[in-house]
Structure 1
Amino acid sequence: MAYRIAVFDAKPYDIATFDKTNESYGFELVYHKEHLDKNNVLLASNSDAVCIFVNAKVDSDVIEKLHSYGVKLIALRCAGFNNVDIAAATKAGIKVVRVPDYSPHAIAEHTLALMLCLNRKIHRAFLRTRDSNFSLIGFQGFDMYGKTIGVIGTGKIGKIATGLFLGLGMNVIAYDLYPDTKWAEATGVKYASLDELYAKSDIITLHCPLTKETEYIISDQSISKMKDGVMIINTGRGKLIHTKHLIEGLLSGKVGYAGLDVYEEEGAYFYEDHSDSIMTDDVLARLLSFNNVIVTSHQAFFTQEAMSNIAHTTMDNIKDFFEGKELKNEVISKA
């Protein structure tokens, strides 16, 4: 008998990728377009496992319902798991697994794309030339070569991104709570304090996890220490940046450019089409009004390779669970 998996927040691209991947696994996949939360948890009844994404809200009440339905596994098809009450799941005997990484190259490349687009005003040129306006006024950028970029977080993504920056002839300084000195020596990258990184960087890019230590690592205090006209890129987590403070920096000119693939309150908007409704998030609306800001919809990961890796790792996690194997991607409660 095939195990029944309720797949929530299923977009057409999810369905296409998971259906193709499932040909090698043989699960019974039941797709739901809704995010899993207390209002639609009933959809998980008669399922052996649920597969969820970043916008699910799996609190203790949802966990209790899942347990009562006989759900034995929560399979996150993403790296983050802050939207799941892990302690409640552990207490209920429900295992939680995730996809720790899927394509660091995709995110590093999107980071570079945001930098180049902002610098050379590609987004504005696209709109202008479509209106037969070929003026260059307002489009002057700067050579990336020789500029200093500060990389906050030197895990897999930060290291790959650094390789791209070095390829452009940029000077790279880095910050990490756990510096990889061997890598730094091999690449010529210099680790520095945050204050030094803020003061010397023409561009700052965020590739660190969201923790209590890194929440709002970009705020009014840190922005005040940066160069005038600094470019800030965030393809990490939304709450690494205090958005209202970023807006103040943009208004004053202290921040010259911002490229954001994530936003601290993105759950209400990202991954969905809201083009026919009024935006009620005043902060996000203000961000979108700046011509020196680019906001993308948490799409840095979104490549063919990444989607395939996500599907295969998710299916492997589910298969290992039902076969009683070790769960190498299990999320363990720290409570």
Structure 2
Amino acid sequence: MKIAVFSTCKYDQEFLEKYNSGHELVFFEAVLSLQNVALTQGFDALCLFVNDRADAEVFAALEENGVRLILLRCAGFNNVDLPAASEAGIKVLRVPAYSPEAVAEHAMAMVLTLNRKTHKAYNRVREGNFSLEGLIGFNLHHCKVALIGTGNIGKAFYKILKGFGCEVMAYDPYPDESLINEGLKYGTLEEAIAEAEVVSLHCPLSDDNHHMINSTTLALFKKGAMLINTSRGGLIATQDVIEALKSGQLGYLGLDVYEQESELFFQNLSEDVIQDDQISRLISFPNVLITSHQGFFTKEAMEQIATTTFANADAYESGLPLMNEVQA
């Protein structure tokens, strides 16, 4: 098939070309949108990432252009209008899991960095400042952690937390029996958050959990608790989090995702004036750590994304069962 790859960075091209199973690939740096959908003419399939726009208007144009398949090189699909895809007769396939350990390990790296302030210590020492003032942290051993979401990534993060000796309570609408058998306790969202010193989000974004972390739920946090989000930016009401940081209700914030990240992440904007006032305010806090959707970014994960993406393409082309199809 002839496949248009959108939102391409150098590393995407490197891994997709290496593991290509025989398809014709054309790479575009641009994010797919209604403004550039004309680029899809003549392609059988599109390969999209988290910030590509695939709404009803785009699908109408894709159908007219003859596109038959969407290959998501990610697990999330909240940026895809599935009913519109179905109406256009376009199949949508995803990569349901790619090294969940990569994201879980990044979440723990954020916890450790915020807690022990290693990023600040690094900068101090480089300037000849060996003082420990302001660098005090807390033990993770016996620390109470709220694990929000126990899918593949949440499960991997739970194993890491157990290794640190944390006391964990989880919330998930669909509890995992294997984790219960391992001793994990489940509760309501309110029960999990209560008295937790760390709250870590590991859930897909849906209409039901959009802005699940808001002024109401933040009021339930233990004062000075840490919030980590390596899932989807829309889980958090950003302005409410800013207010919680200002008041001290929230003591630490680690974000690898951001609700308006499509205008920022995966780009070098170092010479530009950032127009997003909310992220500029977040960056100004000394107790906030932001990475640009980096959690998935390991060699193993990139290999899995590429191989699964082409396995999906091959299955579609060969008329085999579409194990990774996403349906409305």
Same fold (TM over 0.5): yes
Name the TM-score class by shorter chain. over 0.9
Matched, 1:11 2:9: yes
Q: Give the distance between the partners of 1:217 and 1:87, measured in 2 at CA.
A: 24
Of 8-17 and 132-141, deviating more is 132-141
Unaligned runs of 5+ in 1: none
CA distances 1:262-319 after superposition (whole Å, capped 9, x unpaired):
1111111111111111011111100000111101101101110111100111101111
Q: 1:300 aligns with which of 295, 309, 322?
A: 295
Of 283-292 and 74-83, deviating more is 74-83
Output the amino acid matched with 2:10.
Answer: P
Q: How many residues align?
A: 328
Residues 157-168 of structure 1 aligned to structure 2 (within 5 Å): 157-168=153-164
* Change over 3 Å in CA distance of 1:78–1:215 after alignment to 2: same
Aligned to 2:80: 84
Aligned to 1:279: 274
Aligned to 1:331: 326
Residues 151-162 of structure 1 aligned to structure 2 (within 5 Å): 151-162=147-158
Quote the offset at 1:5 in angstroms. Answer: 0.9
Matched, 1:268 2:263: yes
Q: 2:243 aligns with which of 227, 244, 248?
A: 248
Contact 2:234 2:258 in 1 (8 A): yes
Q: Give the distance between the partners of 1:241 and 1:126, measured in 2 at CA.
A: 30
Quote the offset at 1:243 in angstroms. Answer: 1.1
Quote the offset at 1:182 in angstroms. Answer: 4.2
Contact 2:78 2:205 in 1 (8 A): no
Residues 121-140 of structure 1 aligned to structure 2 (within 5 Å): 121-140=117-136
Q: Name the SS for the 1:204 alignment partner.
A: strand
Q: Give the distance between the partners of 1:72 and 1:100, measured in 2 at CA.
A: 20
Output the amino acid matched with 1:218.
Answer: I
Aligned to 1:105: 101
* Change over 3 Å in CA distance of 1:213–1:72 after alignment to 2: closer
- TM-score, structure 1 length as denominator? 0.95
Q: Name the SS for the 1:200 alignment partner.
A: coil
Q: 2:312 aligns with which of 298, 312, 317?
A: 317
* Change over 3 Å in CA distance of 1:130–1:230 after alignment to 2: same
Of 155-164 and 12-21, deviating more is 155-164
CA distances 1:184-220 after superposition (whole Å, capped 9, x unpaired):
232x221122222222211111112222332222111
CA distances 1:154-175 after superposition (whole Å, capped 9, x unpaired):
1111111111111111111111
Aligned to 2:18: 20
Q: Give the distance between the partners of 1:172 and 1:60, measured in 2 at CA.
A: 41
Residues 179-194 of structure 1 aligned to structure 2 (within 5 Å): 179-186=175-182, 188-194=183-189
Unaligned runs of 5+ in 2: none
Aligned to 1:228: 223
